[in-house]
Amino acid sequence: MNRIPSVSLRGGADEDAAALSRWVRAFCIIRFDLERGQLVEAFFPPDALMAPGGGLDRLVAFSSFPDSMSHHLPRHRSSVHDSLFSFRVPDPSSPRRAFLYGFVFNRQRQDERLPRGGEQKSVVILSHAPYSSLFRLLLQILGPLCFDVGPSALAMVASHVAAWPAPAPGRPMELPIGSAALRVHLPPAADDPGPPPALLPANPSVPYGLFHDADLFAAFRGLLLHLWTLWELMVVGEPVLVVAPSPAQCSEAVAGLVSLVAPLLYSVDFRPYFTIHDPDFARLNALAEGEVFPPMVLGVTNLFFLKSLKSIPNVVSVGSPNPNSTRVLPVGGQSPGNGMNGTPGKLKLEKLAINKFSPTSLLNSIKLRREGPLSLMTEHKEALWSTYSPTTKPDTSALNRLIDAGVSPRIEESMSVVNNEILRRHFLELTTNFLAPFGPYLRTTTPSEGSSPFVDPPLLPPFHADEFVNGLAARGPGKFLSKRMRSNWLDLYRRFLEGPNFMPWFRQRRAAAEQEQQRLWRQARMNVDIEKLMSNMSELERIDSFNAVERYLLREMEHLENLKAKGISCAINMLNIPILPFGHIFCRHLSSEVPNVNVFFLQNPGKGSADSIGACQKLKVDLQAAFNVLPKDMQQLLLSNPERAVLLQGSQEKVLGVNGIVTQTSL
């Protein structure tokens, strides 16, 4: 966004705090004071950082600036350097283990005329939602605006955000801000299971996990051959330390790693930018030698962590100390481009040294492994140190499709978009195929032709890890994975089953499958011809069917009452008639002046309430039809129950439809 849109305070400055909190917890301005360090200069809403647990303002302040021991940018006589990065910190106000996401616009201004040669200030958006694609765009408006007009910009932008509709996770949205509109596609909600494991999403540009906008190619360009190892580390939930020269580079790399395993739900704690001021640092620093490091992904710039967290088994260093320089491939002495005059061309495999061997490269590799991550104390280099033995091989077909940008920064940016699409498509396909063997345990069923849908759906197949592994060993990994994995591929599944990601993902997928199965059987009940179904039944089967229809009708009525309690719908009479209990909901039964008529008035109509009312209508018709084919003595016995008698009264019921139209339905 090259031009900052005009933004002014919307009418009604006292915007709804609840509406604002749907998107943002706080807008903050943090400045670095030469005497007192990081200080919160301003924030909005006024009570946003007053967390019951305390310390949130301090935690946000320390997380909003480059670490004092990180690599320094080259100093010029007078320069301004802006950067965007993110962090994730525990929410002290949450009774459970919840996190807040911080998105930072940091400005470093170097000027020899200023004390100590410069100043820096950060503008922060604090939110419970990891909407990085949205908040990055918003920061490009809010950040410069704060430096132009001061702290009043926070209330200006907040007034626009409060007017936004509620977030629609997993869907595209257009959100107005001043004279501009932010067009974003939000990631799915945390409880959204995503596509079925056997189904590859048709459009890889649609986010199927967090941080779909992360620049995966730029963050790991020097480590492309290690992406498959990093993918495995994330899948099995191994701890990883990401070291980078700047917060922007390390937070982008951590976001890229989390996005690498979509659509798998990543359940491991991750911190895009981790500092020594984080409350969890003391716990991690106190780990005894030989004690297992907890599953975490930490992005750091302070090289002190290489010594204090030396028990972490996987360390990856990314980025360049000079982010303004053109990134080159990790092969010494070769030009980064293979086209004429800096034009883009294919990224050659030999440049990645995948098919090339030399004594020099072997010696450098041995030296790098021997020195370990502590070699970063003297010189930053892109490398991976890990005790993990990977199963997945680098995919040469995916690497061959990558495009080398040449030496033009403008072309590099556009080519990075193309390369990210290629990489995301590949790893989305890889993850989907890896999860596909779990599909039979998540497969839904529908009633067979001619069978009754008025029975409880069958349970999903039980899952036992040992049986799963044995069955998978007999069947094999499948065509896609067999080409990309080594002979020990089964070890990856064992690690996944034992790791922290499997059970949360499987439970979520299982619950979604059970919910979908209930929906399918409910739909079958709505479509069944009850008279045709019962025509070939015995007397005993007809009685069982009547009881089943009644049971499902009461469930639907209870569901409708729950919707009413939530303010979605209510059943009220348009006449002043006393309320009588009706099963699990309340309706008003009209007097003898208007016999056998119940009037339902739907407030705030929605799809859920409309579906539930339609289901109640259909089931009441089915209940009456099932009652009519029962023997007379059985009918008399059933009518002895007053509540059932009310249910069975043939009536003309007026229902206010979704569009506010009153319709009559024979029940």
Domain ranges of the chain: 12-186, 190-322+359-436+480-486+493-500, 529-576+602-649
Residue 384: which of 395, 393, 375, 396 has the closest Cα? Answer: 375
Residue 491 in this model has a pLDDT that exceeds 80 = yes
Share of the chain above pLDDT 90, in %: 39
Residue 34 in this model has a pLDDT that exceeds 60 = yes
Question: Which pLDDT does position 194 carry in this prediction?
Answer: 59
DSSP SS3 for 664: strand
Mean of pLDDT values over 642-665: 51
Residue 218 in this model has a pLDDT that exceeds 50 = yes
Q: How far apart are CA 305 and CA 274, in angstroms?
A: 10
DSSP 226-290: GHHHHHHHHHHT--EEEE-SSHHHHHHHHHHHHHHTTTS---SEEESS--TTSTTHHHHHTPPTT
Residue 577 in this model has a pLDDT that exceeds 70 = no
Q: How far apart are CA 661 and CA 622, in angstroms?
A: 24
Cβ within 8 Å of residue 358, ≥6 positions away: none
| 190-322+359-436+480-486+493-500: CATH number | 3.40.50.11500
Model confidence pLDDT, tens digit, residues 397-430: 999 888 875 555 566 667 888 899 999 999 999 9
Share of the chain above pLDDT 70, in %: 74
Residue 299 in this model has a pLDDT that exceeds 50 = yes
Question: Which pLDDT does position 569 carry in this prediction?
Answer: 39
Question: Which pLDDT does position 358 carry in this prediction?
Answer: 55
DSSP 524-571: HHHH--HHHHHTT--HHHHHHHHHHHHHHHHHHHHHHHHHHHTTS---
Mean of pLDDT values over 483-495: 92
Extract the tokens encoding 547.
């009881």
Q: How far apart are CA 309 and CA 299, in angstroms?
A: 12
**Which segments of 436-464 does DSSP mark as H helices, in order?**
none
Q: How confident is residue 268, by pLDDT bands cut at 50, 70 and 90?
A: very high
More confident of the two residues 134 and 328: 134
Residue 595 in this model has a pLDDT that exceeds 50 = no
**Sheet strands (E) in 388-542:** 403-404
> Class of the 12-186 domain?
alpha beta
Read off the amino acid at residue 326: T
